[in-house]
Amino acid sequence: MSDLQLIESTVDRAAQRRRWQRAWRGLWRGLLAAALVWLAALGAYKALPLPVTVLPAAAVAAGIVVLLSVLFHAWRRDTRLATARWIDHRQALKERLSTALELGRDAASGPWHALLVQDAARQLGRFDLRTLLPYRLPRASRWALLVLALGATLGFVPEYRSKAFLQKERDKEVIRETGRQLADLTRRSLEHRKPALENTREAIKSVGELGTDMMKNPLTRAEALKDLAKITDKVQQDARELTKSPALKAMERAARSSSANSPADADELKKQIDALQQSLGNKDARADALDKLQRDLQKAQQAAANLMNKDAQGVDAAKDSLAKTLSSLAKQSQEMGAALPALEEAIAALEAGKIDQLMKDLQIAEKDLERMREMAQALQQLQQQAEKLGKDLAEQLKNGQVEAAQTTLDKMVKQLQAANLTPEQLQKIMNDVAKATEQAGPYGKVGDLLKQAVSQLGKSDKPGAAKSLAEASKELENLMQQMADAQDLKASLDALKRAQFCVGNGMGWCNSPGPPRGGKGGKPGKGVGTWADDNNWMDPPENELWDNSGVERPDTDPRGHTDRGDGNVPEGLVPTKVKGRMSPGGQMPSITLKGVSIKGQSTVSFQETATAAQSEAQSAQSHDQVPRAYQGAVKDYFDDVKK
């Protein structure tokens, strides 16, 4: 290797080493910068109400800073000449290396280039690259480690968050959760059934959109409540408009009084009754009689169990007594139509002295009897339902049994379309339809269509009558759809109220009690009378976990006598001059008002009047139009009215 090559190789190695050194320094500098970024972010997170996402973002930024720093420092590659100059400077070589590298190959320099190179090569022995460029921790490393240690220490310091901020965060989470639930409920509702009316569809959709908005952009509690109230008012208005129809009121009443899974069709009901009666042996096996029979059988079982503890003489007497009892029970069961073969086998086992077998047979007999008792109860219930079900179209319309009425109408249409319709049957249809026209008044066009059908039947226009009846059936179908829409709106309204409860009280969806679910079909739950306090669930439960810290209630701030102002009392709470003592649970003060006496005959049934009054009372209570102290008494009063 020539001197020049030696110089070049040494300088190249130095350049490479310097590059690595720069990268190493860059790493530590980057680490210092990253640690500072992390420390700043952590400090800010600890001191200020920043979201926790700040920390991962800062960590990512810190990583990028380290990477960029290493790349930035290692990116630049020194030229050979620059490195030689650097070595000249560091080793005070009087520019020997750089001059030799620059002019060592320059032929124009004549003999001088050889002299330059030799001189420079001699200087190479004066230094060692490892000494010149040692790998050691740069100064930045100390600072970086210090800052990292500070960051680690800061990690143990609990973050400062004001109560108001925590409350806001909780509110935000509650609003987000409520929004999600609202959106889910609405989506499921729409998936399950698409509302028939455009208004209903829009209203339900707007509820879903509000839920989505709340989920994506959780507002403040006040804003969320405002939005919820707005939508609630809209949905309530829609629901009110929808339920204004008297037909729907009747249908609602009917729906409330009937069970959810009761068959609408009388024939279907009859089939079920027949099937049950057949199972029971076509005898009038009443549930209470079977219950008595079961109790007797249990006594016999007890007596059979006592057989084992008696002496021989006592056993014979007890056996005789038990045999008589069992025979009597078998006879009774046969008379009731409830054949119990196990009982016969038990008698046989008793005669054979097989007490164990006797016990087993008696148990089987008891189980059979129990099953029969349950069937008898179900039969009884079905018979009760059948009694309630309208027997003809008029009764069905009167009772609001629209589905049954529709089925009846469809049957009539089929009969009219059939070729072999006898005049008697035609007359019966005409009579039924004519009778139903009176009851079809609240059902809108149905009444007119039925009248039209009667007229057509009178003219023996069977196709026309069938068409009119089919249209009436369709109209009823529409009414049913409206009813379903109203129920959907009611469900949305319940969801909105529940959302208001959740947001207003800062409770999660699952923690809120929701509207009362007392019985099947959403019937009111336990309470005085037939209706319960539907809004009671909206009051937050009072338990130890309830925490209203951070809730801002400027209206409850202490104020002096002079700065109270005129006050803003709701209309329903404007005090009236009532003599007496106001104390909840105590005697209710009353005044007697003389009203105008209207004489005549009421065209509205008492049941409807009572229901309407009940509804209005409930509405007044829910709108805080009844002072709280009087609410219990008002409720009791209207319960009594219903009775």
Question: Which residues sit at the interface with another protein, rule CB under 8 A?
Answer: 18, 22, 73, 76, 78, 81-83, 85-86, 88-90, 94-96, 98-100, 102-103, 106, 109-113, 115-116, 119
Structure token pair of residue 225: 């409540």
* Nearest distance in Å: CB 144, another protein: 19
Burial 19-47 (b: 16+ CB within 10 A, else e): bebbbbbbbbbbbbbbbbbbbebbeebee
SS3 content of the chain, % helix, strand, coil (to 5): 70, 0, 30
The three-state secondary structure class of 301 is: helix
Q: Which is nearer to another protein, 60 or 115 (CB)?
A: 115
| 3-state helix/strand/coil string of 207-259 | HHHHHHHHHHCCCCHHHHHHHHHHHHHHHHHHHHHHCCCHHHHHHHHHHHHCC
* Nearest distance in Å: CB 103, another protein: 5
* Nearest distance in Å: CB 106, another protein: 8
Tell me if 515 sits within 8 A of 498, measured CB to CB: yes
Nearest to 534 by CA among 548, 518, 549, 515: 515
Structure token pair of residue 619: 């509405």
Q: Which is nearer to another protein, 104 or 447 (CB)?
A: 104
> What is each CA distance from 45 to 147, 468, 540, in whole angstroms?
16, 75, 34
Q: Which is nearer to another protein, 82 or 613 (CB)?
A: 82
* Nearest distance in Å: CB 96, another protein: 6
* Nearest distance in Å: CB 37, another protein: 23
Q: Which is nearer to another protein, 118 or 536 (CB)?
A: 118
> Distance between CA 26 and CA 460 in Å, rounded?
105
Nearest to 236 by CA among 503, 500, 476, 442: 500
Q: Which is nearer to another protein, 119 or 265 (CB)?
A: 119
Structure token pair of residue 259: 């069970």
Structure token pair of residue 474: 């369709």
> Distance between CA 27 and CA 252 in Å, rounded?
77
Tell me if 224 sits within 8 A of 252, measured CB to CB: no
> Distance between CA 8 and CA 101 in Å, rounded?
7
Other residues' Cβ atoms within 10 Å of the Cβ of residue 89: 11
* Nearest distance in Å: CB 32, another protein: 17
Q: Which is nearer to another protein, 22 or 498 (CB)?
A: 22
Amino acid at 555: D
* Nearest distance in Å: CB 86, another protein: 5
What size, in residues, is the chain?
Answer: 643
Q: Which is nearer to another protein, 28 or 537 (CB)?
A: 28
* Nearest distance in Å: CB 65, another protein: 18
Compute the half-sphere exposure of residue 346: CA atoms within 13 Å on the CB side of its CA. Answer: 28
Other residues' Cβ atoms within 10 Å of the Cβ of residue 86: 19
> Distance between CA 429 and CA 369 in Å, rounded?
45
Q: Which is nearer to another protein, 112 or 637 (CB)?
A: 112
Backbone phi, then psi, for 573, in 5-degree steps?
Answer: -105, 10
Q: Which is nearer to another protein, 115 or 275 (CB)?
A: 115
Q: Which is nearer to another protein, 23 or 154 (CB)?
A: 23
Compute the half-sphere exposure of residue 594: CA atoms within 13 Å on the CB side of its CA. Answer: 0
Tell me if 482 sits within 8 A of 197, measured CB to CB: yes
15 contact partners, CB below 8 Å, separation of at least 6? 77, 78, 79, 80, 83
Q: Which is nearer to another protein, 26 or 442 (CB)?
A: 26
The three-state secondary structure class of 286 is: coil
Q: Which is nearer to another protein, 111 or 554 (CB)?
A: 111
* Nearest distance in Å: CB 143, another protein: 19
Q: Which is nearer to another protein, 82 or 641 (CB)?
A: 82
* Nearest distance in Å: CB 91, another protein: 12
* Nearest distance in Å: CB 94, another protein: 4
The three-state secondary structure class of 508 is: coil
Q: Which is nearer to another protein, 75 or 606 (CB)?
A: 75
Q: Which is nearer to another protein, 99 or 333 (CB)?
A: 99
* Nearest distance in Å: CB 15, another protein: 9
Q: Which is nearer to another protein, 129 or 323 (CB)?
A: 129
Tell me the chain's radius of gyration from C-alpha atoms. Answer: 46
> Distance between CA 620 and CA 513 in Å, rounded?
22
* Nearest distance in Å: CB 176, another protein: 51
> Distance between CA 246 and CA 191 in Å, rounded?
29
Mark residue 522 as left, alpha or beta (left: phi above 0; alpha: psi -120 to 50; beta: remaining).
left
Distance of CA 543 to the CA centre of its chain: 23
DSSP designation for 107: G
Structure token pair of residue 36: 């500072």
* Nearest distance in Å: CB 100, another protein: 8
* Nearest distance in Å: CB 59, another protein: 28
* Nearest distance in Å: CB 111, another protein: 4
